[in-house]
């Protein structure tokens, strides 16, 4: 199979191999794992609910070759820096440094019993950093995949996703759900993934034809982001504890429906009630969109995505002025099938499903209108759903092929 990103991937693999050789003096195997965009289902993953993300064409690339000792020497092209770590002494938590992600992946794999080999790694990524497009999952998964492969282990994609999530939860210290790592491992070109975050079963759903995924970066990232994410998680956990007085045995908001929530509203503060209403209604919206895509339909998407955005803005309170303005501007454009903020919130990006033929105009008009209202020039990425993590084989003629 030819590399899923075709020309870009081939060039990148070739480039990386050349740079690896000039840095380390030997050849390398090349691995790639993508970032993601979530189409719908926000803050539902850690509530054991449903999400509908797609892997995107931006990736993290890792060149790797084994060493004879137990050291991993990791060079980041983005940060122009090397981190050396000893596989027998990785520590138990990160240092607040970019290298926490690859070292954390090595840590989680070894904690799970995988014996790793020392290696030289060259990492280069083009997932925009801090934009909410999961550059962290991309670096964890690509490194984890590369380290497992160089040590001769078979790849179990779901296990790799869970261990990369563990790296981020326990080593890096961010209590994220499973969505990002899962789609980075399992993504499929042209498809979104409907993931059941309780059973980890998933369905690949072909995106409607003639639709571009247009991601608009607000270029802001409010400080609240990391802290508020954990606050939302804790609120959901508290709501489950309170609701279980009336609904014994429930483990997560996944098990509660809107009727039960309304009946037991008295057990919750107004804030907790609204947090629950978002999660429960968002799960229903994911199912609705999955049903539409399963039937190859797109009519009705706009209303569902708009309701999702409103729910995040008013009930979950994770939006911000820039995101709201970006969505409002998108809703005025031709060719729009649906728009909402995407990811953790408090800045980052919106996701817009746009008619392929209107995507270029959409980009131009949204950029100009956002800049005149907010005073920042947004980055706009016109993407396709891409393939998940893979090895990119560079043959003698330097024509990469992928094995999955």
The distance of closest approach from Cβ of residue 389 to ligand GLA in the complex, given in angstroms and rounded to an integer, is 17
The distance of closest approach from Cβ of residue 214 to ligand GLA in the complex, given in angstroms and rounded to an integer, is 19
Give DSSP secondary structure letters for 230-281: HHHHHHHHHHHHHHTTTSTT--SGGG--HHHHHHTGGGS-HHHHHHHHHHHH
Applying CB under 6 A, which of residues 179, 320, 326, 341 lies at the interface with ligand GLA?
Answer: 179
Edge-first strand order for the sheet with 191-196 is: 50-51, 191-196, 202-206
Residue of 86, 180, 291, 315 marked active site: 180
Residue 48 or 369 having the CB closest to ligand GLA: 48
The distance of closest approach from Cβ of residue 42 to ligand GLA in the complex, given in angstroms and rounded to an integer, is 4
3 state DSSP class of 299: coil
Pairing of strands 81-86, 202-206: unpaired
Residue 169 or 204 having the CB closest to ligand GLA: 169
The distance of closest approach from Cβ of residue 113 to ligand GLA in the complex, given in angstroms and rounded to an integer, is 25
Residue 342: name the closest of 358, 334, 330, 355 by CA. 330
Per-residue binding string, ligand GLA, 127-166, x by CB under 6 A, is: ----------------------------------------
Residue 38 or 264 having the CB closest to ligand GLA: 38
Residue 118 or 348 having the CB closest to ligand GLA: 348
Q: How many CB atoms lie within 10 A of CB 61?
A: 24
Decide if 33 contacts 388 (C-beta within 8 A).
Answer: yes
Work out whether 42 is an interface residue with ligand GLA (CB under 6 A).
Answer: yes
**Secondary structure element (H or E) that encloses residue 352, with its range:** strand 347-355
Q: How many CB atoms lie within 10 A of CB 398?
A: 12
Instruction: Give the position of tokens 């008295």.
Output: 266
Report residue 233: phi and psi, to 5°.
-60, -45
The distance of closest approach from Cβ of residue 209 to ligand GLA in the complex, given in angstroms and rounded to an integer, is 27
Work out whether 255 is an interface residue with ligand GLA (CB under 6 A).
Answer: no
Work out whether 177 is an interface residue with ligand GLA (CB under 6 A).
Answer: yes
Work out whether 176 is an interface residue with ligand GLA (CB under 6 A).
Answer: yes
- Of 43-51, 147-155, 214-222, 295-303, the segment contacting ligand GLA by CB under 6 A is 43-51
Residue 262: name the closest of 278, 273, 249, 250 by CA. 273
- Of 40-48, 68-76, 297-305, 390-398, the segment contacting ligand GLA by CB under 6 A is 40-48
The distance of closest approach from Cβ of residue 283 to ligand GLA in the complex, given in angstroms and rounded to an integer, is 12
Applying CB under 6 A, which of residues 17, 35, 45, 182 lies at the interface with ligand GLA?
Answer: 45
- Of 39-47, 285-293, 324-332, 396-404, the segment contacting ligand GLA by CB under 6 A is 39-47
Residue 287: name the closest of 191, 179, 201, 194 by CA. 194
Per-residue binding string, ligand GLA, 340-379, x by CB under 6 A, is: ---xx-----------------------------------
Work out whether 43 is an interface residue with ligand GLA (CB under 6 A).
Answer: yes
Helix axes 100-111, 157-166, angle to 10 degrees: 120
Residue 282 or 369 having the CB closest to ligand GLA: 282
Sign, CA dihedral 295-299-302-304, equals negative
Decide if 244 contacts 268 (C-beta within 8 A).
Answer: no
Spell out the residues 6+ positions from residue 385 whose beta carbon is closer than 8 angstroms to its own: 54, 55, 56, 187, 188, 189, 190, 191, 192, 207, 213
Q: Which of residues 97-116 bind ligand GLA (CB under 6 A)?
A: none
Residue 3 or 279 having the CB closest to ligand GLA: 279
180 is annotated as an active-site residue = yes
Work out whether 275 is an interface residue with ligand GLA (CB under 6 A).
Answer: no
**Secondary structure element (H or E) that encloses residue 64, with its range:** strand 53-66
The distance of closest approach from Cβ of residue 278 to ligand GLA in the complex, given in angstroms and rounded to an integer, is 11
Spell out the residues 6+ positions from residue 187 whose beta carbon is closer than 8 angstroms to its own: 34, 36, 54, 55, 193, 385, 386, 387, 388, 389
Work out whether 35 is an interface residue with ligand GLA (CB under 6 A).
Answer: no
The distance of closest approach from Cβ of residue 399 to ligand GLA in the complex, given in angstroms and rounded to an integer, is 35
| Contact residues for ligand GLA, defined by CB under 6 A | 38, 42-43, 45-46, 176-177, 179-180, 343-344
- Give the residue numbers annotated as catalytic, written as ranges: 180
């Amino acid at each position: 199979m030819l590399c899923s990103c075709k020309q870009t991937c081939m060039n990148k693999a070739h480039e990386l191999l050349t740079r690896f050789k000039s840095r380390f003096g030997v050849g390398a195997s090349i691995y790639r794992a993508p970032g993601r965009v979530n189409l719908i289902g926000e803050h539902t993953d850690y509530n054991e609910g449903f999400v509908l993300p797609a892997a995107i064409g931006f990736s993290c690339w890792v060149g790797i070759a084994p060493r004879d000792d137990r050291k991993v020497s990791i060079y980041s092209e983005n940060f122009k820096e090397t981190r050396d770590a000893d596989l027998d002494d990785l520590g138990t938590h990160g240092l607040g440094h970019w290298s926490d992600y690859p070292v954390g992946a090595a840590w989680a794999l070894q904690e799970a019993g995988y014996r790793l080999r020392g290696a030289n790694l060259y990492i280069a990524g083009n997932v925009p950093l801090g934009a909410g497009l999961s550059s962290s999952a991309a670096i964890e998964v690509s490194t984890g995949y590369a380290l497992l492969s160089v040590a001769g282990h078979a790849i179990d994609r779901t296990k790799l996703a869970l261990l990369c999530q563990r790296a981020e939860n326990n080593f890096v210290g961010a209590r994220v759900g499973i969505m990002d790592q899962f789609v980075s491992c399992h993504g499929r070109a042209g498809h979104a993934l409907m993931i059941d975050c309780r059973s980890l079963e998933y369905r690949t759903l072909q995106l409607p034809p003639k639709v571009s995924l247009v991601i608009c970066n607000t270029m802001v990232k409010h400080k609240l982001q990391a802290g508020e994410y954990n606050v939302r998680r804790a609120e959901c956990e508290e709501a489950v504890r309170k609701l279980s007085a009336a609904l014994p045995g429930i483990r997560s908001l996944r098990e509660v429906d809107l009727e039960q929530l309304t009946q037991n509203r008295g057990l919750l503060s107004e804030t907790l009630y609204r947090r629950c209403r978002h999660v429960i209604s968002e799960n229903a919206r994911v199912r609705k969109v999955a049903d539409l895509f399963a039937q190859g339909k797109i009519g009705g998407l706009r209303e569902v995505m708009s309701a999702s955005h409103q729910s995040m803005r008013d009930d979950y309170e994770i939006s911000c002025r820039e995101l709201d303005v970006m969505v409002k501007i998108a809703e005025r454009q031709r060719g729009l099938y649906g728009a909402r903020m995407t990811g953790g919130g408090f800045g980052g990006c919106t996701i817009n499903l746009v008619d392929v033929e209107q995507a270029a105009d959409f980009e131009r008009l949204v950029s100009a209108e956002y800049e005149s209202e907010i005073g920042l020039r947004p980055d706009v990425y016109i993407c396709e759903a891409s393939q998940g993590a893979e090895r990119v084989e560079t043959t003698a003629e330097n024509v990469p092929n992928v094995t999955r």
